[in-house]
Amino acid sequence: MSPIKTAILSFGMSGRVFHAPFIDLHKGFELTGIWERSQSASAAFYPQARIYRSLEEILTDPSIELVVVNTPTGTHYDFTKQVLLAGKHAVVEKAFTTTVAEAVELNALAEQRQLVLSVFQNRRWDSDFRTVEQIVQEGWLGEIMEAEIHFDRFKDELSPKLHKEMPAPGAGILNDLGPHLIDQALHLFGMPQAVFADIRITRPGSQVDDYFEILLYYPLLRVRLKSGYQVREPFPSYVIHGRKGSFLKTRADVQETRLLANEKPNLTDWGTEPISEQGLLHTEKDGQLIREKVPTLQGNYYGYYEGIYQSLRHGKPVPVSATDGIHVMQIIEAARESSRERKVMNLQ
């Protein structure tokens, strides 16, 4: 079966670190081309890939089957719409779009043209989250009553990437790190009934939100999502409490660090966390109290592209659907309105 000829729309951090290495690793894909407007940085990494100088060149290339839209969030709707209208499948970086309406329109267009449209949520394949997911799904904690997910950093300085720091649709921490936490929460627990949020600016000179706290309301369960840039000593990134017990886990996935160092992923020991970062499980089983460290599952973003391959070549469901992306955007819009109005927003 022929490989999926794929083009990437940017070779910044996203393209170089999160997409190209795994497309290149997967034998079912061919990294055919990369859009670089003026530079040729990708040639040193992937000399076999053609450098396109315009989006039009990609859209009119009949060999390209899949396009990765990994440009700034504010461009996602326009570029993805052009990709779909050109008859090509699309993987779109988070945040999917800047509004729910845009996300719904893209989903409808993909369905109308019978094209695959998926949102890139690589953090589902982080080692830490995969371990949390296993603990929850295997019922070690019983019925989950409370969950808290953090993605914190300590960073006073503003990003040199202007699109991240200038007030505009798609800018700010809620659109940057928020989709990771929201997607993980929805993947574990489904859509909530209501949302309450506090979104603010904390760094000197910042013009965009750099802190958020979101509370998701379920019938009994409450899920708190937090992210900020003023956290020098981080809280455990996953704190899950159930009727039987608790599980605490740090955010310790090593993939991003290794990828930034230009290490190539593999299918053997890639994404293996240090043993020192194992999570703590405190629960009971068969009447016996258990308080012990839990081996961390291996992480590998390859799993996302394996899912895309299975979808395109064997008709299986996409690993992260456009509907998943719509749900994340619904939470983001509700969170912004909640913070602005200082009230709980009902979703159902």
Write out pLDDT tens, residues 66-114. 999 999 999 999 999 999 999 999 999 999 999 999 999 999 999 999 9
Cis omega before residue 322 (within 30°)?
no
Question: CA 183 to CA 319: how far, in whole Å?
Answer: 12
Half-sphere exposure of 27 (CA within 13 A, CB side): 3
* Position 165 confidence tier, pLDDT thresholds 50, 70, 90: confident
* Position 337 confidence tier, pLDDT thresholds 50, 70, 90: very high
Question: What would the two tokens of residue 158 be?
Answer: 């503003």
Question: What would the two tokens of residue 79 be?
Answer: 């570029």
Question: CA 329 to CA 173: how far, in whole Å?
Answer: 14
Strands 211-217 and 117-120: unpaired
* Domains assigned to the chain: 4-120 (3.40.50.720), 125-299+331-346 (3.30.360.10)
Reduced to 3 states (helix: H, G, I; strand: E, B; else coil), residue 34 is strand
Tens of pLDDT, residue by residue over 22-49, are 999 999 999 999 999 999 999 999 999 9
Give yes or no for residue 162 having a pLDDT over 70. Answer: no
Tens of pLDDT, residue by residue over 244-256, are 999 999 999 999 9
Sheet order of strands, 288-294 included: 288-294, 279-285, 246-249, 238-242, 144-150, 222-228, 211-217, 194-200, 345-346
CA 228 to chain centre: 17
Q: What does pTM read for this prediction? A: 0.95
Question: CA 258 to CA 269: how far, in whole Å?
Answer: 12
Residue 156 is predicted with a pLDDT of 78
Give yes or no for residue 341 having a pLDDT over 90. Answer: yes
Give yes or no for residue 170 having a pLDDT over 90. Answer: no
